[in-house]
Structure formats: structure tokens, C-alpha cells
């Protein structure tokens, strides 16, 4: 059972609880990006089990008619076993339903395999797949130029992995400046849509200004349990908002990462204890 403090960040342990959370979000005009927690499997059986659950999840979303999509991690689908297994399992999920599928980005060692898989499947589905890229990686500017020529959506995040300084920007101010520049490029160059994966009010406002300038479709994506009032306010103001909705039995490592990742998340957790 997930304790109350963690349940602020995780939508239960089953697909049903996750989709019930999505139903509540939809009532507030917010969509859901549903993710089964799990990563870095070196056993094909574990990757297959999670793939099967994603297939069922896609079918449930279609049957429910929910405003929801799916987000998967490459290492969860078997990338640590082989790139072939990852791409095979990803294809099974994409083929399972009509809902949109996001491919999360993990550490820099997975970038090429992730982008290659995205390019293959977004062409095959005419854009029913999205991929995440990280502004802190020095290579991402060139990656965005490659992605601009493809259908599908791109989610731009600042980057949460502790990458080596020779391949990544490590200063917060530099990452913020690079993120702003990359958002500007994406709004100008992308036709399929831009996912603004940020809780930073300045970046969210910057995206709104870029939308007014270019008219490019975009959506703001935030996590369950983080700045939820801002999410509802944005949705009420006409901004397309999607909430990242993780669920599953492997909730502890995710919760621990969220609390360590950002100081403000620790504040949310402490307030949950005091008020709970």
C-alpha cells in the first residue's frame, strides 16, 4: 500500500487507480500521460511483463475514451538487454491502441537508440508518437534539428540525470538559458507540436509568449503532485495541460527521486505530512 505522503506523487498501484485519477483530471480539463513505473530491466521477462501491461493499458484508455496517452521508458522495455528487444516491445505497445505514445528519455547512453526508435515509429504512424529531449545535453541542439523534419511531438525538459560535464551543461543558469533558446527554436521549427515539460513559471510564460508569436500547438506537461494548482489555473485559462501520471508497485524509487530532485518537491512532501 502506498503511504499518504507518496500518494501525492503516485496514482496508486494498478491501471484502474491510474485511470480513475485521469478521470478526475479530465473533469478539470487536464489530460493524463500514464506511466507504469519500472526501469533498467536486464531480464527479458520483466520487460515483456511491463509491455503486456502497457498493451492492456492502451486498450483500456481506448475503451474508456479518456483524454490520456502513454509514456514508456526504453530501459523498461528491454533496452538494457538489446536495442532489438526495446524496439520490438515498443512496437507492440504502439500497435495496441489508438492512444498517443510518448518515449521518455533516460541517461545520455540511451539517446541514440531512443531517437532512432522514435524516428522509425513516428514515420510509421504518421506522428502518433512523441519523444523527450533534455536541454542540459550539449548534443540536443543538433538533435532538435533532426527531429524538426519528422512528424510527431517533442517534449523538451531541462534534464534530471547527473551527466558528465564534458557532454552536459551543469550550471543551472546555463541550462535555463539553453532551455529558453531551445523552446524558441521548437516553436519556430516544429509543426507537430511542442511539449513544455517544466514546472518553472518563467518557462511556462515564455512558452505562452512563443505561442502568441508563432501559433504552434503546444502543451504544458507537469508531474502529479507538483504545482497542481498551477495546472488547473493554466487549463482554465485555455492552455493545453497534461499531467504525468505514474503508477505501479515500484513507487518507492520514483517517489524518492522526486523528493531528491527538486527542493520544492521536498517542501510539498513536508506540507503533506503536516496537513495529513
DSSP 8-state assignment for residue 150: S
Among 104, 74, 68, 99, smallest CA distance to 89 is for: 74
Rounded to 10 deg, the angle between the 44-64 and 83-96 helix axes is 20
Whose cell is 478526475? That residue is 24
Q: Please list, in sequence order, all residues whose beta carbon lies within 8 angstroms of the beta carbon of residue 5, skipping any fewer than 6 positions away.
A: 255, 269, 272, 273, 276
Q: Give catalytic status of residue 191 as yes or no.
A: no
SS3 label, residue 216 = coil
Question: Active site residue: 80, 143, 155, 258, which one?
Answer: 155
Q: Give catalytic status of residue 146 as yes or no.
A: no
Which run of H or E residues covers position 45? helix 44-64
Chain centroid to CA 137: 17
SS3 label, residue 274 = helix
Question: Active site residue: 104, 143, 227, 258, which one?
Answer: 104
What distances in angstroms separate CA 61 from CA 37, 92, 118, 152, one per listed residue?
17, 16, 22, 20
Say how many residues make up the chain.
276
What span, in angstroms and rounded, lies between the C-alpha atoms of 112 and 56?
28
What span, in angstroms and rounded, lies between the C-alpha atoms of 23 and 79?
32
The total of other beta-carbon atoms located within 10 Å of residue 108's CB is 18
Which run of H or E residues covers position 154? strand 153-157
Point out the residues that are catalytic: 104, 155
Amino acid at each position: 500500500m502506498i503511504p499518504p505522503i507518496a500518494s501525492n506523487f503516485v496514482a496508486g498501484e494498478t491501471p484502474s487507480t491510474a485511470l480513475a485519477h485521469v478521470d478526475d483530471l479530465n473533469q478539470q480539463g487536464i489530460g493524463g500521460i500514464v506511466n507504469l513505473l519500472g526501469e533498467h530491466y536486464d531480464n527479458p521477462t520483466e520487460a515483456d511483463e511491463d509491455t503486456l501491461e502497457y498493451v492492456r493499458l492502451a486498450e483500456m484508455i481506448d475503451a474508456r475514451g479518456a483524454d490520456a496517452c502513454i509514456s514508456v521508458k526504453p530501459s523498461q522495455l528491454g533496452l538494457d538487454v538489446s536495442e532489438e528487444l526495446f524496439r520490438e516491445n515498443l512496437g507492440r505497445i504502439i500497435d495496441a491502441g489508438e492512444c498517443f505514445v510518448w518515449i521518455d528519455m533516460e541517461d545520455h547512453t540511451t539517446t541514440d537508440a531512443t531517437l532512432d526508435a522514435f524516428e522509425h515509429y513516428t514515420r510509421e504512424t504518421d506522428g502518433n508518437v512523441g519523444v523527450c529531449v533534455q536541454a542540459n545535453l550539449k548534443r540536443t541542439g543538433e538533435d532538435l534539428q533532426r527531429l524538426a523534419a519528422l512528424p510527431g511531438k517533442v517534449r523538451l525538459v531541462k534534464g534530471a540525470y547527473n551527466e558528465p560535464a564534458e557532454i552536459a551543461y551543469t550550471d543551472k543558469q546555463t541550462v535555463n538559458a539553453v532551455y529558453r533558446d531551445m523552446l524558441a527554436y521548437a516553436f519556430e521549427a516544429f509543426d507537430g507540436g511542442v511539449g513544455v515539460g517544466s514546472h518553472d513559471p518563467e518557462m511556462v510564460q515564455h512558452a505562452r509568449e512563443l505561442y502568441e508569436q508563432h501559433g504552434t500547438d503546444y502543451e504544458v506537461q507537469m508531474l502529479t503532485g507538483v504545482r497542481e494548482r498551477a495546472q488547473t489555473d493554466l487549463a482554465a485559462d485555455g492552455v493545453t495541460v497534461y499531467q504525468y501520471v505514474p503508477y505501479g508497485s515500484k513507487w518507492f524509487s520514483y517517489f524518492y527521486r522526486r523528493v531528491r530532485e527538486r527542493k520544492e518537491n521536498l517542501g510539498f512532501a513536508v506540507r503533506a505530512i503536516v496537513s495529513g
